[in-house]
């Protein structure tokens, strides 16, 4: 099995490389310090079975990168991060991540997660699984007509200033609406909000 490591911390990548290299029949084929670099490697023909993805990175974060890898029909993604909030978990899974593991996971757990992810079998850290269950048990979000209108404009790629001008409201009001929308959809950014809204057919 060949793995692509995507993490902006060189020390973390070095530690993961050393750990994964100790697993039988699993090797680290390449490393990337952010999402854009990972996509460049894959576009250049890098052949890997699993992408191990951090979430918080410069240039292009893990959620956006995972969504793009998935959209392009790339290799399955295993998110490996320190973030276990419900919003982070749901955003990553909605983007197409097959697995979600925390960086303090024991080595045998990581090895099995890599194997499962390569076979596109879902693997979730226990802490993460509970967040998913909580999300499933939440009632469907109810967005106001104004929030849906803003989301539709947001999906066109409009900036806050453009949204304010389109809806004849202040930029401060736009930000307030966005906070409420993110909270209702259980996401943390525009890309995830649009994806969630489309998935739930709100827009």
**What are the tens digits of pLDDT across the range 53-73?**
999 998 899 999 999 999 999
Least confident of 111-120, 139-148, 183-192: 139-148
Q: Would the pLDDT of 137 be above 60? A: no
Tell me what the mean pLDDT of segment 97-121 comes to: 95
pLDDT of residue 118: 97
Strands 77-81 and 99-102: what pairing?
Answer: parallel
* Model-wide pTM > 0.85: no
For residue 130, how many C-alpha atoms fall within 13 Å in the half-sphere facing its CB?
4
Question: pLDDT grade, residue 102 (50/70/90)?
Answer: very high
Question: pLDDT grade, residue 139 (50/70/90)?
Answer: low
Calculate ∠ Cα 59-69-143, nearest 5°: 80
Task: Give me Rg for the CA atoms of the chain.
Answer: 18
Mean pLDDT, the chain, integer: 90
Count of residues in the chain: 203
For residue 156, how many C-alpha atoms fall within 13 Å in the half-sphere facing its CB?
10
Sheet holding 123-124, edge to edge: 27-32, 2-6, 50-53, 77-81, 99-102, 123-124
Q: Is 31 helix (H, G, I), strand (E, B) or coil?
A: strand
pLDDT of residue 79: 97
User: How many CB atoms within 10 Å of residue 172?
Assistant: 10
pLDDT of residue 72: 93
pLDDT of residue 30: 98
The secondary element (H helix, E strand) that includes residue 100 is: strand 99-102
Tokens read off for 177:
């609406």
Tokens read off for 120:
């596109």
Please give the Cα distance from 78 to 158 (Å, whole number).
Answer: 31
Question: pLDDT grade, residue 140 (50/70/90)?
Answer: low
Tell me what the mean pLDDT of segment 2-11 comes to: 97
């Amino acid at each position: 099995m060949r793995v692509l490591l995507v993490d902006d911390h060189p020390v973390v990548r070095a530690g993961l490389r050393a750990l994964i290299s100790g697993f039988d029949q699993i090797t680290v084929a390449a490393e990337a310090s952010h999402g854009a670099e990972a996509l460049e490697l894959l576009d250049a023909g890098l052949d890997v079975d699993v992408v191990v993805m951090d979430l918080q990175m410069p240039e292009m974060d893990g959620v956006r990168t995972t969504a793009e890898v998935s959209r392009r029909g790339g290799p399955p993604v295993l998110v490996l991060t320190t973030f276990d909030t419900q919003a982070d978990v749901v955003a990553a899974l909605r983007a197409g991540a097959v697995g979600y593991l925390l960086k303090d996971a024991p080595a045998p757990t990581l090895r099995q997660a890599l194997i499962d992810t390569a076979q596109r079998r879902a693997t979730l850290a226990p802490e993460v699984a509970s967040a998913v269950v909580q999300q499933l048990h939440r009632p469907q979000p109810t967005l106001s007509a104004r929030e849906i209108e803003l989301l539709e404009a947001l999906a066109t790629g409009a900036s806050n200033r453009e949204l304010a001008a389109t809806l004849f409201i202040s930029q401060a009001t736009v930000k307030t609406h966005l906070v409420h929308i993110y909270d209702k959809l259980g996401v943390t950014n525009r890309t995830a909000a649009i994806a969630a809204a489309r998935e739930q057919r709100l827009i």
